[in-house]
Amino acid sequence: MPKEKETKYRAQKYRKEWEKEHWARGWLKLSKNHNGKACCNVCNKDLVVGKSELISHTKSAQDIRNMKTAETTRPVTEFIAVSSYPRIKAELNTCFSGQEESIFQVP
């Protein structure tokens, strides 16, 4: 019986320099969950690390929609004065005091 030919696959590793490439600027980062994998900041998904796979991710319909939303969305902190943070944090934590930990992280 002939042996089946093994397919050799060289595992790709995340490359920090990809973050500076035009196709990855603003959305690509190293995944916190999986060693050596990539993460899309916009979709909040872990991705297989391979340049062609990452580039194809940017062309997916869902990612394009998420990118447009991310470009037009501003953080709430832009609308709140920094001096108000402690008061707002205290009020929100009082509303949700039954929680084990604070669910609101105000800088």
Query: Are 83 and 69 members of one domain?
Result: no
Estimate the crossing angle of helix 61-72 against helix 51-58, to 10 degrees: 70
Residue 102 has pLDDT above 80, yes or no: no
Co-location of 39 and 49 in the same domain: yes
Q: pTM of the full predicted structure?
A: 0.50
In a domain, 68, yes or no: yes
Residue 16's domain spans which residues?
11-73
- Which structure tokens are listed for 5? 């030919």
Beta strands in the chain, from DSSP E residues, in sequence order: 28-30, 38-40, 45-47
In a domain? residue 4? no
Number of domains in the chain: 2
Is the domain of 61 the same as that of 107? Answer: no
Note whether residue 53 is domain-resident.
yes
Q: Which two tokens stand for residue 31?
A: 């995944």
> Residue 7 has what pLDDT?
67
pLDDT tens per residue across span 36-91: 788 888 888 888 888 888 888 877 777 677 777 777 666 766 777 767 778 877 88
Query: Which pair of structure tokens corresponds to residue 71?
Result: 């470009």
Q: Are 63 and 36 part of one and the same domain?
A: yes
